[in-house]
Chain A
């Protein structure tokens, strides 16, 4: 029975990680229709920002403060990815709106550039990030059922990010403007919204969310120049499966992929499990081409 609960928890945990990496993409791809292949590299930026924050704490602050570095690094990785996203939008993406294939190629190139840049700055081998001591260990429910604190922390982080995005999009003026621009750009412009500024901000926020994902991933995975490539496909799958344009769809997409993947992997093997998940996604998209939650608006026609 323990195995069942553990696998259930693992499924939810995998889903939460998928959701975190896809959340930024749900904004840049889902809302803005930019096929951002550099999304993975923005995750990498977040991971390296965490590494840098850790380095700074080790070098300049007393050792007793070290375990607190992780909270700051969440902010640092958001900021770093936000700024790079902003720069990217101002110099490149804004010339490519409405041209998905061009933006795909250009952002893929940007991804390669960022990878090589990381390799030049930090070296080709992986770097290590020491997890804060308060995230070591786990919550013992029963003898065989231990829920690692890191996984619980990531679950909480995802919930916070999701809530913050929800509040931003549906409860603030900036969010309302964003929705207006994404739904009908010309009308929004006529009403006096600076669409260019909204575009920049939206893209930067999506990038910043990728940064937070990178920060969280340092807890459980490798930190190197190519980590973005491991997550980019999953991120796109989540967004496409969930339905482009709706955040709630992304949540369902992540849950769907995370749970089925864990289930299949337990029944079969990791490789075969992945294949089965892909097959399920293909079949599902045949049945519902617009994903779980279809956006009903004329602008997407």
Chain B
């Protein structure tokens, strides 16, 4: 009986599968190209004459972020900010009298894809530089490609430090510009007992290794340490453990969607910011929108930039970003760092008079720029930025109120050489 059934259907099967596959291909293709093409067009229009390949009157720059997959949640906005910086530079006449032509590639939240696309950008498109990456895993995947082909990568996100490649400029914070000062501030102001909660991958584990060494040196106490897989969505058990450990502070290095689940469930468990201090290093304005300001109100975060940071440059930056991408969009630290990266590279190229990697690197040394976050300076030795550290408290409107700031840009120290307690950490890497 079943035989006849399948036999009858067999006639339709070929057609059905063909239809399915072609539908998936067509729709998938549209979906994949849509964001890249959509955002590339405004930038490409002023330089319409100089389409790809024609680099005589234009300079090609690569943009490599995850536009699909799980990391698209964060990276699409950084790409938007970088495209905006390129548009602004082009509107002012470009770099060395040439327009910038962005070549946008999708890393697809997949680390080997990042390496592959980086190789494509460098050897096929022959881009002058690449702005891209978010997760440390994507940066570590791209690093050997940039070193091998002597390319230049501008990486815009705060990270765990202990790295300094001659082919990468790091425009996000390293640990001594975010985590280390945040821990010191917490120990002084909020208590000694700290619970470490993070996603289970390289950044939280390295960050927590550093924090544990710092706690031991500065008189803090470790109440517990817990890691959850990326994308973990049930935190009730972790919250029970936190309740049992009774810490003063939860230092949160969770990444991505897990933050939403953790904070919603923390609130449901009846724990508010008044009962327990939490400080996050991966929750910015963009994430607050997805979690809900009512859930996060009163919780802390450490960054170098907030949308509310009070500088004239930031006012223009926020206005331009909202005018371009919609009034409901928000700016955040990595978005600003991506924007800075484009301007810093452009300034270095102008100073060098060429896009040659060695010349640009030489020119970039000690280069200063008035960024939306305030003055930043490239440290020639480590190729990181001097950045101001800020601790902010989430307000009811989803914006941060600055509660503490370092007052001046802090010199980057990715290997924490200036901290005696950190001497055992960097040797391992």
Interface residues of A (CB under 8 A from B): 3, 6-7, 10, 13-14, 17, 91-92, 94-99, 102, 105-106, 109-110, 112-113, 115-117, 119-120, 123-131, 137-138, 144, 146, 148-151, 184-187, 217, 219-227, 229-231, 262, 265-266, 269-271, 273-274, 299
Q: How far is the CA of A224 from the CA of B70 in the complex (A)?
A: 9
Chain B residues with Cβ below 8 Å from A91 are 19, 23
A226 touches B260 (CB 8 A): no
Q: How far is the CA of A110 from the CA of B229 in the complex (A)?
A: 26
A290: shortest Cβ distance to chain B, in Å?
19
Interface set, chain B 1-48, CB cutoff 8 A to A: 1-2, 4-6, 9, 12-13, 15-17, 19-21, 23-25, 27-28, 31-32, 34-35
A126 touches B289 (CB 8 A): yes
Chain B residues with Cβ below 8 Å from A269 are 226-227
A126 touches B5 (CB 8 A): no
- Judged by a CB distance under 8 angstroms, whether B312 is at the interface is no
B285: shortest Cβ distance to chain A, in Å?
10
Chain A residues with Cβ below 8 Å from B234 are 14, 17, 220
A97 touches B9 (CB 8 A): yes
Q: How far is the CA of A266 from the CA of B2 in the complex (A)?
A: 48
Q: CB within 8 A of A148: which of B1, B25, B226, B268?
A: B268
Chain B residues with Cβ below 8 Å from A150 are 268
B264 touches A224 (CB 8 A): no
Q: How far is the CA of A132 from the CA of B35 in the complex (A)?
A: 33
Chain A residues with Cβ below 8 Å from B294 are 130
Q: How far is the CA of A96 from the CA of B237 in the complex (A)?
A: 41
Q: Which of B73-81, B300-308, B411-419 contacts A (4 or more CB under 8 A)?
A: B73-81
A270 touches B270 (CB 8 A): no
Q: Mark B67-92, 1 if CB is under 8 A from A, else 0.
A: 11110111111000000000000000
Q: Mark B193-220, 1 if CB is under 8 A from A, else 0.
A: 0000000100000000000000000000
Q: How far is the CA of A13 from the CA of B12 in the complex (A)?
A: 44
- Judged by a CB distance under 8 angstroms, whether B311 is at the interface is no
A95: shortest Cβ distance to chain B, in Å?
2
* Contacts known (A113-B27, A137-B270); A266 close to B73, Cβ less than 8 A: no
Chain A residues with Cβ below 8 Å from B5 are 98, 185-186
Interface of A is mostly: helix
Q: Mark B172-197, 1 if CB is under 8 A from A, else 0.
A: 00000000000000000000000000
A98 touches B268 (CB 8 A): no
Q: How far is the CA of A266 from the CA of B25 in the complex (A)?
A: 44
- Judged by a CB distance under 8 angstroms, whether B368 is at the interface is no
Q: CB within 8 A of A128: which of B17, B67, B270, B290?
A: B290
Q: How far is the CA of A92 from the CA of B20 in the complex (A)?
A: 6
Interface residues of B (CB under 8 A from A): 1-2, 4-6, 9, 12-13, 15-17, 19-21, 23-25, 27-28, 31-32, 34-35, 67-70, 72-77, 200, 226-229, 231-234, 236-238, 240-241, 243-244, 257, 260-261, 264-265, 268-270, 286-287, 289-294
A102: shortest Cβ distance to chain B, in Å?
6
B20 touches A221 (CB 8 A): no
Q: How far is the CA of A293 from the CA of B37 in the complex (A)?
A: 51
B289 touches A127 (CB 8 A): yes
Interchain Cβ contacts under 8 Å between A and B, 13 examples: A7-B237, A14-B234, A95-B20, A127-B289, A137-B270, A138-B268, A151-B268, A220-B234, A220-B261, A223-B260, A226-B257, A270-B200, A270-B229
Q: How far is the CA of A7 from the CA of B269 in the complex (A)?
A: 12
In chain B, what residue has the closest Cβ to A185? B5
Chain B residues with Cβ below 8 Å from A187 are 1
**Inter-chain contact count A-B, CB under 8 Å?**
195
A227 touches B257 (CB 8 A): yes
B264 touches A221 (CB 8 A): yes
In chain A, what residue has the closest Cβ to B293? A128
Q: How far is the CA of A120 from the CA of B68 in the complex (A)?
A: 10
* Contacts known (A113-B24, A225-B72, A271-B228); A146 close to B260, Cβ less than 8 A: no
Chain B residues with Cβ below 8 Å from A109 are 20-21, 23-25, 28
In chain B, what residue has the closest Cβ to A187? B1
* Contacts known (A113-B24, A146-B269, A229-B70); A222 close to B17, Cβ less than 8 A: no
B108: shortest Cβ distance to chain A, in Å?
11
A99 touches B13 (CB 8 A): yes
Q: How far is the CA of A148 from the CA of B19 in the complex (A)?
A: 47
- Give the residue among B16, B226, B244 with the most A Cβ atoms within 10 A: B16
Chain B residues with Cβ below 8 Å from A149 are 268
In chain A, what residue has the closest Cβ to B256? A222
Q: How far is the CA of A154 from the CA of B150 in the complex (A)?
A: 55
A112 touches B28 (CB 8 A): yes
Q: CB within 8 A of B9: which of A98, A105, A120, A221?
A: A98
* Contacts known (A112-B28, A222-B233); A271 close to B227, Cβ less than 8 A: yes
A10 touches B240 (CB 8 A): yes
B237 touches A224 (CB 8 A): no
A119 touches B68 (CB 8 A): yes
Q: How far is the CA of A17 from the CA of B221 in the complex (A)?
A: 36
B237 touches A265 (CB 8 A): yes
Chain A residues with Cβ below 8 Å from B261 are 220-222
A106 touches B72 (CB 8 A): no
Q: How far is the CA of A292 from the CA of B78 in the complex (A)?
A: 48
Q: Other than the known A151-B268, A299-B2, what 16 A-B pairs have Cβ atoms closer than 8 Å?
A: A97-B9, A99-B13, A105-B21, A109-B21, A125-B286, A126-B260, A127-B290, A128-B289, A128-B291, A130-B294, A150-B268, A220-B265, A221-B261, A222-B260, A223-B290, A270-B238
- Give the residue among A126, A130, A219, A273 with the most B Cβ atoms within 10 A: A126
B264 touches A219 (CB 8 A): yes
B73 touches A124 (CB 8 A): yes
Q: How far is the CA of A211 from the CA of B233 in the complex (A)?
A: 18
Chain B residues with Cβ below 8 Å from A113 are 23-24, 27-28, 31
